Amino acid sequence: MTAEAFPMRRRYLLVFVVLLTFGALAQDWEACKPDDDYSFNDVKAAVHRITSSRMYSGWDEKTFARSGDLVAVAVLKR
């Protein structure tokens, strides 16, 4: 075994251990999805409330953050 091969094997081992660790942690990432999905009527009501009163609450912000592209559709349909 040469002196050059040993550090290269150690690097590969380190990369393998790091990737294995991230792989083990990543298996639960799909479970981090929010439990409550907001319906289009909820999003539309939040858009109406914000545009009519020009104020928003934390619940409205949470609705917008978790509903994704439905907010854009609700604004366009307003």
- At residue 2, the pLDDT reads 57
Contact 67, 43 (CB under 8 A): yes
Q: How far is CA 5 from CA 14, 16, 18, 19, in A?
A: 14, 16, 20, 21
- At residue 48, the pLDDT reads 92
| Residue with token string 């690097």 | 11
Contact 66, 37 (CB under 8 A): yes
Spatial separation of the C-alpha atoms in residues 18 and 71, rounded to whole Å:
39
Residue-by-residue pLDDT tens, the chain, 78 positions: 555 656 777 888 888 888 877 776 666 655 555 556 778 888 899 999 999 998 888 888 888 888 888 888 888 887
Q: What is the pTM of this model?
A: 0.51
